[in-house]
């Protein structure tokens, strides 16, 4: 196996999910150009972190996983030849939402997802208002660059 380089993306996110997605894509391309094989996006990168207040308005930003963001990121992954770990606000069904990481291989294929299981509820971390605990357990995803296991988060 060849050397694996991980790129960690930091973004300043605003209320426009499309602008944030486009910014993430630019950063993925930059990281790939710097030699990254695996690129990790920030938690819930398409929106500002919503959990510092209980606001029903953020639920409209949730999407299915896989869904539109995974499709766009799949194209970027294939073009840049990188694995992408993308944290998304997943709408599983009416009233059921998750903090989910989608895993996209370097060929653009969606490999699966991990739903965050430990959901804190502390001052300025009102995640239980937004997210249902994950139900998929810890998983291993076989990628072009080796096996990626889910982390305890």
Helix or strand holding residue 149 (H, E): strand 146-149
Q: What is the pLDDT of residue 147?
A: 73
**pTM of the prediction?**
0.93
Q: What is the pLDDT of residue 123?
A: 85
State the catalytic residues.
43, 116, 153
Whether 130 is covered by a domain: the verdict is yes
Q: What is the pLDDT of residue 121?
A: 87
Helix or strand holding residue 137 (H, E): none
Parallel, antiparallel or unpaired: strands 125-126 and 96-104: unpaired
Q: Which of 51, 47, 43 is nearest to 129 (CA)?
A: 51
Local mean pLDDT, 10-residue blocks, the chain (153 residues)? 86 95 98 97 96 95 98 98 97 97 97 94 91 92 74 42
Distance between CA atoms of residues 102 and 6, nearest Å = 16
Q: How many domains does the chain have?
A: 1
Q: What is the pLDDT of residue 106?
A: 96
Whether 14 is covered by a domain: the verdict is yes
Q: What is the pLDDT of residue 152?
A: 39
Whether 13 is covered by a domain: the verdict is yes
Whether 30 is covered by a domain: the verdict is yes
H helix intervals, 1-150:
17-33, 68-80, 127-130
Distance between CA atoms of residues 125 and 108, nearest Å = 33
> Residue 33's domain is classified under what CATH number?
3.60.110.10
Whether 63 is covered by a domain: the verdict is yes
Whether 1 is covered by a domain: the verdict is no
Whether 73 is covered by a domain: the verdict is yes
Distance between CA atoms of residues 127 and 54, nearest Å = 9
Query: Residue 77 belongs to what domain range?
Result: 6-149
Distance between CA atoms of residues 8 and 6, nearest Å = 6
Whether 104 is covered by a domain: the verdict is yes
Structure tokens at 123: 């001052």
Q: What is the pLDDT of residue 153?
A: 38
């Amino acid at each position: 196996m060849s050397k694996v380089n991980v790129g960690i993306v930091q973004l300043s996110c605003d209320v426009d999910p499309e602008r944030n997605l486009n910014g993430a894509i630019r950063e993925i391309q930059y990281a790939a150009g710097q030699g990254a094989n695996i690129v990790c996006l920030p938690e819930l990168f398409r929106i500002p972190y919503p959990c510092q207040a209980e606001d029903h308005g953020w639920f409209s930003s949730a999407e299915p996983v896989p869904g539109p963001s995974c499709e766009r990121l799949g194209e970027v992954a294939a073009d840049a030849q990188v694995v992408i770990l993308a944290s998304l606000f997943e709408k599983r069904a009416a009233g059921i939402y998750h903090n989910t990481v989608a895993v996209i291989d370097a060929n653009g294929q969606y490999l699966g997802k991990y739903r965050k299981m430990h959901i804190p509820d502390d001052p300025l971390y009102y995640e239980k208002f937004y997210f249902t605990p994950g139900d998929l357990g810890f998983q291993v995803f076989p990628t072009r660059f080796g096996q990626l296991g889910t982390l305890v988060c």
